[in-house]
Amino acid sequence: MLECQVIKHNLTVRDHDRLDVDDFISRIDGSINITRKQFEGMAEKLLNLIKNAITDVTNKSGYNTTQIDKVLQVGGGSRMPMIKNLLKDIFPNAEHLCEEHPDEVVAIGAAHYASYLKSETIKENRCSVM
Protein backbone atom coordinates (compact mmCIF):
# COMPACT_ATOMS: atom_id res chain seq x y z
CA MET A 1 0.00 0.00 0.00
CA LEU A 2 2.78 2.43 0.86
CA GLU A 3 4.46 1.85 -2.48
CA CYS A 4 1.16 2.48 -4.28
CA GLN A 5 0.78 5.72 -2.35
CA VAL A 6 4.27 6.76 -3.46
CA ILE A 7 3.30 6.01 -7.07
CA LYS A 8 0.13 8.10 -6.68
CA HIS A 9 2.23 11.00 -5.38
CA ASN A 10 4.74 10.56 -8.21
CA LEU A 11 1.95 10.64 -10.80
CA THR A 12 1.04 14.08 -9.50
CA VAL A 13 4.28 15.46 -10.93
CA ARG A 14 5.12 12.87 -13.62
CA ASP A 15 3.22 11.28 -16.49
CA HIS A 16 4.27 7.72 -15.62
CA ASP A 17 5.78 5.56 -12.90
CA ARG A 18 6.41 1.89 -12.24
CA LEU A 19 6.04 -0.67 -9.51
CA ASP A 20 8.87 -3.17 -9.08
CA VAL A 21 7.27 -6.58 -8.66
CA ASP A 22 10.39 -8.10 -7.09
CA ASP A 23 9.95 -5.70 -4.15
CA PHE A 24 6.93 -7.81 -3.20
CA ILE A 25 7.62 -11.22 -4.70
CA SER A 26 11.36 -11.87 -4.75
CA ARG A 27 11.16 -14.82 -7.14
CA ILE A 28 9.49 -12.71 -9.86
CA ASP A 29 11.56 -10.17 -11.72
CA GLY A 30 9.86 -7.31 -13.52
CA SER A 31 7.84 -4.20 -13.12
CA ILE A 32 4.36 -2.85 -13.78
CA ASN A 33 4.22 0.46 -15.62
CA ILE A 34 1.39 2.91 -14.98
CA THR A 35 0.63 6.21 -16.62
CA ARG A 36 -1.21 9.16 -15.14
CA LYS A 37 -3.94 8.58 -17.74
CA GLN A 38 -4.38 4.95 -16.60
CA PHE A 39 -4.53 6.05 -12.97
CA GLU A 40 -7.14 8.68 -13.79
CA GLY A 41 -9.15 6.01 -15.63
CA MET A 42 -9.09 3.84 -12.51
CA ALA A 43 -10.29 6.80 -10.43
CA GLU A 44 -13.08 7.83 -12.82
CA LYS A 45 -15.90 6.50 -10.63
CA LEU A 46 -14.50 8.36 -7.63
CA LEU A 47 -14.19 11.57 -9.65
CA ASN A 48 -17.84 11.22 -10.70
CA LEU A 49 -18.86 10.83 -7.04
CA ILE A 50 -16.92 13.99 -6.17
CA LYS A 51 -18.49 15.88 -9.07
CA ASN A 52 -21.99 14.73 -8.09
CA ALA A 53 -21.44 15.75 -4.46
CA ILE A 54 -20.26 19.22 -5.48
CA THR A 55 -23.15 19.65 -7.92
CA ASP A 56 -25.61 18.51 -5.25
CA VAL A 57 -24.27 21.00 -2.69
CA THR A 58 -24.25 23.92 -5.09
CA ASN A 59 -27.80 23.11 -6.24
CA LYS A 60 -29.00 22.99 -2.61
CA SER A 61 -27.27 26.29 -1.88
CA GLY A 62 -29.15 28.02 -4.67
CA TYR A 63 -25.96 29.02 -6.44
CA ASN A 64 -24.94 28.13 -9.94
CA THR A 65 -21.34 26.90 -10.28
CA THR A 66 -20.63 29.80 -12.65
CA GLN A 67 -21.51 32.24 -9.82
CA ILE A 68 -18.69 30.98 -7.59
CA ASP A 69 -15.71 33.32 -7.90
CA LYS A 70 -13.16 31.65 -5.58
CA VAL A 71 -12.37 28.02 -4.86
CA LEU A 72 -9.97 27.16 -2.05
CA GLN A 73 -8.46 23.75 -2.73
CA VAL A 74 -7.46 22.02 0.49
CA GLY A 75 -6.32 18.54 1.49
CA GLY A 76 -3.86 16.20 -0.11
CA GLY A 77 -6.15 15.39 -3.03
CA SER A 78 -5.93 18.97 -4.21
CA ARG A 79 -2.36 18.29 -5.32
CA MET A 80 -3.59 15.84 -7.95
CA PRO A 81 -3.95 17.23 -11.49
CA MET A 82 -7.20 15.31 -12.03
CA ILE A 83 -8.78 16.98 -8.97
CA LYS A 84 -7.51 20.42 -10.01
CA ASN A 85 -8.91 19.90 -13.53
CA LEU A 86 -12.23 18.64 -12.20
CA LEU A 87 -12.65 21.71 -10.01
CA LYS A 88 -11.67 24.03 -12.87
CA ASP A 89 -14.27 22.33 -15.08
CA ILE A 90 -16.99 22.63 -12.43
CA PHE A 91 -16.12 26.22 -11.47
CA PRO A 92 -14.88 27.77 -14.75
CA ASN A 93 -15.21 31.40 -13.64
CA ALA A 94 -13.54 30.97 -10.27
CA GLU A 95 -10.08 31.87 -9.09
CA HIS A 96 -8.56 28.60 -7.87
CA LEU A 97 -6.36 28.93 -4.78
CA CYS A 98 -4.20 26.19 -3.35
CA GLU A 99 -1.71 26.69 -0.56
CA GLU A 100 1.73 25.12 -0.71
CA HIS A 101 0.73 22.79 2.16
CA PRO A 102 -2.97 22.00 1.60
CA ASP A 103 -3.01 19.40 4.40
CA GLU A 104 -2.16 22.10 6.93
CA VAL A 105 -5.12 24.16 5.73
CA VAL A 106 -7.42 21.28 6.68
CA ALA A 107 -5.84 21.06 10.14
CA ILE A 108 -6.16 24.81 10.67
CA GLY A 109 -9.80 24.72 9.54
CA ALA A 110 -10.51 21.85 11.92
CA ALA A 111 -8.92 23.78 14.78
CA HIS A 112 -11.04 26.86 14.01
CA TYR A 113 -14.16 24.73 13.84
CA ALA A 114 -13.33 23.03 17.15
CA SER A 115 -12.86 26.44 18.73
CA TYR A 116 -16.22 27.57 17.34
CA LEU A 117 -17.96 24.44 18.68
CA LYS A 118 -16.38 24.96 22.09
CA SER A 119 -17.50 28.60 22.24
CA GLU A 120 -21.04 27.58 21.20
CA THR A 121 -21.11 24.98 24.00
CA ILE A 122 -19.98 27.62 26.52
CA LYS A 123 -22.72 29.99 25.30
CA GLU A 124 -25.34 27.25 25.60
CA ASN A 125 -24.20 26.41 29.13
CA ARG A 126 -24.34 30.08 30.17
CA CYS A 127 -27.86 30.44 28.77
CA SER A 128 -29.12 27.34 30.56
CA VAL A 129 -27.67 28.54 33.90
CA MET A 130 -29.36 31.93 33.64
For residues 25-47, average pLDDT = 88
Residues of the chain with pLDDT > 90: what percent? Answer: 48
Nearest to residue 39, comparing CAs of 13, 64, 59, 65? 13
Quick: pLDDT tens for 69-111.
Answer: 999 898 888 889 999 999 999 999 999 998 788 888 888 889 9
Q: Does 90 reside within a domain?
A: yes
Our measurement of the distance from residue 95's CA atom to the centroid of its chain's CA atoms, rounded to an integer in Å, reads 17
What total number of domains does the chain contain? 1
Q: Does 29 reside within a domain?
A: no
Assess contact for 90 and 65: CB atoms under 8 A.
Answer: yes
Total-model pTM: 0.73
- C-alpha atoms less than 13 angstroms from C-alpha of 109 in its C-beta half-sphere: 10
Q: Does 100 reside within a domain?
A: yes
Q: Does 80 reside within a domain?
A: yes
**Gap between the Cα atoms of 102 and 71, Å rounded:** 13
Which residue has better confidence, 19 or 93? Answer: 93
Longest dimension (CA), the chain: 74
Q: Does 106 reside within a domain?
A: yes
Q: Which domain holds residue 102?
A: 64-130
* pLDDT level of residue 125 (50, 70, 90 thresholds): low
**Gap between the Cα atoms of 87 and 79, Å rounded:** 12
**Gap between the Cα atoms of 84 and 90, Å rounded:** 10
**Strand pairing report for 95-98 and 70-73:** parallel
